[in-house]
Structure 1
Amino acid sequence: MLTESSRPRTSSDMLDVAAWIGRNAYTGSRPRPLTGCDGRTVALVAQPNRLVQHKAVVLARNVGAELRKIDDATWFGYFHRAADIVDRELSAGRVTPVARAISATTGLPQLRVERGIAAVAHHLRRIEDIMSVQAPQGDLAAYRTGRVDAPWAWLPAGRTCMVRVPGNFPTIQIEWLQTLAARRPTLINTSERDPFTAGVFVSALYEAGLPDGALSMCHGDVPTWLNLADQIVWPGEHAPSMEPSRLKTYHFGRSKAVLLDDHPDPRTWDRLARLAFQGSGRLCTNVSALAVTGDAEAAAAQLARAFNAYPVLPLDARAARVPAFPDRELLRALVREIEREIAGGAVDVTARDCDVPLLVEIGDSAFLRPTVLLTDAGSPLFRTELPFPFTAVARVDRARLDEACAHSLIVSVIGDHPEVVELLAQEPTITKVFADDAFDRGYDPVDPQEGYLSDFLFQKKALLPRRTA
């Protein structure tokens, strides 16, 4: 998968991370050093200049028509072969140095990184299903022809698309992979902390036969791309200021669960804990708050016991699930925020059952102990998400559940309560409601995620007279 020109080269344990301008790896002359959680330099990251960025845009503009001419079997075959390549590289251990670097720079446990990469490869094998649910009448051919059974055509809203890829967890790569699967030439802008993961899939796709220019990847600031890309997808913070028609953003998840029964199935607590720990607590689908209509203190105690089954471990331990913090300023700010809440009357329920302090140091790495906090529904910590396994628990009146759960990506209703599901589904700022045995379903790319990505990438155009194939 990684050729001599594209494979991250090691000097001791340090990687050289190339950008990609089409199918060509670009190293540049002034790479940026990237440090890990322990302060040591992990990689030297290429920083393409404006001229190089412009070349990538030209390649993307020129290849768009070619991508729409490729038949569906060939097109989606690129994604399937790329999945095979990534799986083979994972099995052979050739992705291990990259996973180790991602772990060091993001603070994610190494095994979680490798499994996240494997999960993306699994998504690639389902790419037709992921894209068909977003197409008119489920017709994959519409992505290349624009023809639909309607008095309008379904056509690209731009020729090129830039996707900013956050560094929270490897599975976020599916965002730019969907953009590419929609036959849109894609400019990938990686985050400061993870310039590695996207390259694994760019390399595999080009090895699988993807046409030159369909993908380019740059790290860090990309002013030329921001100016020239027709459309921009920007999950996470610090979105650029531009006309709304060019920009699609995603808000924080702030996902929540609702418990209406004082005595749920005993397995509920382990399932809630797993939902909090998926992606090491760095996913927008993690349960960040639990609204309880009954005994909130008892519920918090049960959840805290389930949390305590996940100890803080070194990042290379196979059982590690808790992330470290490469950003010590952020770490200190989170400690202050939680301690301020406790001083105001909140209860650190997790601390009752364990003697592990909130701030944990292992070697040169720093962690926050997974925490269940009993607080009030009006607390800011009940309405936010933190980048580690953390759940705020509060009592909420049943009639005010929609208000308490507003502005949430997912609300999980535990138990069979169709009237509550309907109440929450009617709240415009709640994106998904899961209930019954599906309450901990989590993310699946076939679901709309604040709408479907294709709703942004394509537009309906009146086209008369209509011509049939």
Structure 2
Amino acid sequence: MAPVPTTEPLHLDALGPRGTYRTRVPSTVTDVAGAPIARLSLVPPLYVARAIDALRQAPPIAAADLETVFATAGEAFAAGTVGGLSVREYERHVSRTSGTPLAVVRAATRGTAHFVRHAASSADRGRPRGAARDLSDHVLHETHTVWARQGDVFAVNASGNHPGVHRVWLEALALGYRVAVRPSRREPFTPYRLVAALRQAGIRDDQLMLLPTDHATADTLVHGADRAVVYGGDDVVTKYAHDARILPQGPGRSKILITADTDWRDHLDALVASVAGESGTACVNATAILVEGDPAPLAEALAARLAVLPSLPPQDERARLPVCPKERARALSAYLKTVAAGTHAWLGSGGIADDLRDGSAVLRPAVHQTASASAPQLRTELPFPCVWIAPWTRADGMAPLRNTLVLSALTRDRDLWEALVAEPSIANVYFGDQPTHWMSPGVPHDSYLSDFLMRSKAVYEGPV
């Protein structure tokens, strides 16, 4: 009898200061149904410490090489074979492991490649007009100010909810930082492909690394760097809130405000996209919609549009909703039922976990109406299309709109425009028919990353 052919498991090695590093007992990466997909090498604390030392000793990427490196890497990420995976194989792996619909992953591939190509110019957008790029910049002789890094090593403790989360740290490379990325074990394929593509384009091994670790070792990485960004929930924000070297990225709690002078019917497509675009998993998806007037007609119309989205495995071309392991889906459904107590359910009253009979379940949309704009539910952000619809009055004022990553405002009230932009706790304001998940290179996400990484220094050159 002929031997049965075997398929070598896919290995995702650490990408350290001396190339790839494979551990003897790697962690298994599974898809949403529990099937093994890859073996991820987790590096120990000592390896992380030595990697940080290597990053600290390495020079920045030469400014003259930035445009070429990022253009080459962007092309490889979008269309090439990187780390042994073609772009289509990469996208299928991301979809199967993260539960993100394949169409969303493909759009994210194009979007991320676009951000890679524009990383250098995007990073420079945050530079103060009066600051020179470096000592050789002729502007320095006029302004006596130079833009300088606040450290050398930047660490990223990434999440796996959406491939686009890895676009932001590209700017740190462009600003001269050496970067270490800790991937999410839920979806390590995007950071692996991005780091490998950048190395393939000419970035040295000791300038950019992929360091998968367990949770305990992640702290070694974060605290060993000069600056770090950490993604997670409210617990992560609380944990790192008092460390000025760490930028916590928590829930976005993005919102939409619709005032009485605007007919929401003219903007229903944008409302649906804000809630369910990107499969509803991003921090820039709308968590709450506040309506001046009766919110019921809007809630009913939105629920009708979301109800027809199909329940399909994530790798199906027609899928639009996120998928996760069945047990997690049931837990999220039970949690939503508890949180939503006292609200009116327009969609999702019977639960949001739709079993696919393979160990996974689709997370279906939920639409609930609250009694007031001060309802506590408006702070609840969940990893699927889940939105709270609330009435809003001028007497409610800014309070229900605060602590928001993105606020889309459908209003003609110019005084309100001014008030929203002036509110410190609202990071971004979009006016008109613009979904909350819109992003573009060079446009700040949660302020410019350079606001956290850089500072302006006075430099005066006199006679010696």
Q: Give deviations 1:84-104, integer Å, cap 9, x for gaps.
A: 112222799813333223222
Which stretch shifts more, 320-329 or 241-250?
241-250
Cα 1:140/1:304, change in 2 over 3 Å: farther
What's 2:67 paired with? 76
TM-score scaled by length of structure 2:
0.88
Give the alignment partner of residue 402 of structure 1, picking from 389, 398, 401. 398
- Separation in 1 of the partners of 2:102 and 2:131? 39
Does the CA contact (< 8 Å) of 1:160 and 1:229 recur in 2?
A: yes
What's 2:296 paired with? 297
Cα 1:114/1:369, change in 2 over 3 Å: same
Cα 1:375/1:13, change in 2 over 3 Å: farther
Does the CA contact (< 8 Å) of 2:73 and 2:117 recur in 1?
A: no
Does the CA contact (< 8 Å) of 1:123 and 1:174 recur in 2?
A: yes
SS of the aligned residue for 2:427 comes to strand
Amino acid in structure 2 at the alignment position of 1:109: P
What's 1:332 paired with? 330
Give the alignment partner of residue 348 of structure 1, picking from 318, 323, 345. 345
Is 1:234 the counterpart of 2:234 in the alignment? no
Structure 1 residues 123-142: aligned runs within 5 Å: 123-137=115-129, 141-142=133-134
Question: Gaps spanning 5+ residues in structure 1: where?
Answer: 1-9
Query: Offset at 1:235?
Result: 2.7
SS of the aligned residue for 2:443 comes to coil
SS of the aligned residue for 2:121 comes to helix
Is 1:24 the counterpart of 2:22 in the alignment? no
- Separation in 1 of the partners of 2:420 and 2:95? 37
Does the CA contact (< 8 Å) of 2:123 and 2:175 recur in 1?
A: yes
Cα 1:208/1:138, change in 2 over 3 Å: farther
- Separation in 1 of the partners of 2:184 and 2:362? 21
CA-based RMSD of the aligned residues comes to 2.9
Which stretch shifts more, 259-268 or 139-148?
139-148
SS of the aligned residue for 1:219 comes to coil
Cα 1:55/1:143, change in 2 over 3 Å: farther
Q: Give deviations 1:344-396, integer Å, cap 9, x for gaps.
A: 332221369xxx85221112211221111112333332123111011110111
Structure 1 residues 282-321: aligned runs within 5 Å: 282-321=281-320
Task: Indicate the percent of aligned positions where both proteins have the same amino acid.
Answer: 27
Structure 1 residues 197-212: aligned runs within 5 Å: 197-212=190-205
Amino acid in structure 1 at the alignment position of 2:332: L
Cα 1:271/1:439, change in 2 over 3 Å: closer
Amino acid in structure 2 at the alignment position of 1:225: L
Does the CA contact (< 8 Å) of 2:132 and 2:139 recur in 1?
A: no
SS of the aligned residue for 1:266 comes to helix
Does the CA contact (< 8 Å) of 2:70 and 2:198 recur in 1?
A: yes
Moved over 6 A (4+): 90-93, 143-147
What's 2:79 paired with? 88
Give the alignment partner of residue 192 of structure 1, picking from 162, 185, 190. 185
- Separation in 2 of the partners of 1:466 and 1:445? 39
What's 1:424 paired with? 420
What's 2:278 paired with? 279
Cα 1:382/1:109, change in 2 over 3 Å: same
Amino acid in structure 1 at the alignment position of 2:111: A
Does the CA contact (< 8 Å) of 2:131 and 2:139 recur in 1?
A: no
- Separation in 2 of the partners of 1:382 and 1:218? 36
Structure 1 residues 84-233: aligned runs within 5 Å: 84-89=75-80, 94-137=86-129, 141-142=133-134, 148=140, 149-221=142-214, 222=217, 223-233=219-229
Query: Offset at 1:427?
Result: 2.2
- Separation in 1 of the partners of 2:50 and 2:158? 21
Cα 1:160/1:146, change in 2 over 3 Å: farther
Query: Offset at 1:83?
Result: 0.9
Amino acid in structure 1 at the alignment position of 2:451: D
Does the CA contact (< 8 Å) of 1:136 and 1:142 recur in 2?
A: no
Does the CA contact (< 8 Å) of 1:86 and 1:121 recur in 2?
A: yes
Cα 1:455/1:143, change in 2 over 3 Å: farther
Cα 1:340/1:357, change in 2 over 3 Å: closer
- Separation in 1 of the partners of 2:262 and 2:73? 47
Does the CA contact (< 8 Å) of 1:106 and 1:326 recur in 2?
A: no
Does the CA contact (< 8 Å) of 2:154 and 2:228 recur in 1?
A: yes
TM-score scaled by length of structure 1:
0.87
Question: Gaps spanning 5+ residues in structure 2: where?
Answer: none
Amino acid in structure 1 at the alignment position of 2:46: L
Amino acid in structure 2 at the alignment position of 1:81: T
Amino acid in structure 1 at the alignment position of 2:265: P
Does the CA contact (< 8 Å) of 1:188 and 1:216 recur in 2?
A: yes
SS of the aligned residue for 2:80 comes to helix
Query: Offset at 1:438?
Result: 3.9
Which stretch shifts more, 11-20 or 167-176?
11-20
